[in-house]
Structure 1
Amino acid sequence: MTLIALNKPFGVLSQFTDAKSPTSRETLSDYVQVPRVYPAGRLDRDSEGLLLLTDDGRLQARIADPAFKLPKTYLVQVEGVAGDAALDALRRGVTLNDGPTRPAEVEAIDPPELWPRNPPIRYRASVPDAWLRLTIREGRNRQVRRMTAAVGLPTLRLVRWRIGDWTLDGIAPGTWVRV
């Protein structure tokens, strides 16, 4: 069995080919040349961080399937001040257009020491931002972004840091390790 932890850079598709675009967009094949591994779950093109790839179909399903409630932790830079009301709403769960979310674990954190993003996050001196550590146990499409927006904190940068016991710690952007 092969299990790979990749630090997926911003702008990279969570698939090995890009049949939909007439222009060439970066895919996993630009970073991982290991045969017969597939992503266990997805990470949006405009998100960064931990993506697990495996050749074990059962493990892939266990990681990706929300039924297993594997915790996924994100470092999220949001626009605005993360006040108690917004954090409490995330902890209770918010209602999105596809229904209520499960409660999240969330805390405001100091800005983490991360690599620079390319392209950089827009900076506006008149608009404050904040960082959150947010853990969910489900995986809807763009869920973290939609949750923070629902409480008035649009996401500026989203980095998945942990999936279950696997972490991004020590893995540079665009590189991977066998775990």
Structure 2
Amino acid sequence: MIGILASIRHPELFTKLVLVGASPRFLNDSDYHVGFKRGKVEGVLSAIEADFDAWVNGFAPLAVGADVPDAVREFSRTLFNMRPDISLFVSGTYFNSDLRGILGLVKVPSCIIQTARDMSELASVATYLKDHLCGRNTVEELHTNGHLPHLSSPTLFTTKLHRTLSR
């Protein structure tokens, strides 16, 4: 989503966006039902605040895909390198942001990469982005688990990324 903001501000610097697991909003509202309910987000933020270590140990396998233990360990290590208060602040900002209103300002084509099974994001988010970003947009599905395909399936991800960038 930061790439989207940057491409709006300086479109001359971009020829294409590759959006991996991107979401303009994580909370459902009356006309947007591809995110989380408010109670779920509050539960996640409470879990981070109450017991950061337990949250990391539960979240990392879901985010990466439990079937890739080395990648789960590496992702856990990076999370444990963050101060819990900063992680809580970043997560709160992330979950409470709403960038739907600016999607139409994007002028460069976008390739939206979505994993087949992502605990953080429904596949319909990719469709929403495709339909609301200006320009020529495509959706590419990766047949893998997790929200972080560069960790869960790096070979599959880099193959798809290479194909996307060479078009």
- What's the TM-score once normalised by structure 1's chain length? 0.24
Q: Could you say which structure has the higher helix fraction? A: 2
Report which structure shows greater RCO (CA 8 Å, sep ≥6).
Answer: 1
Q: Could you say which structure has the higher strand fraction? A: 1
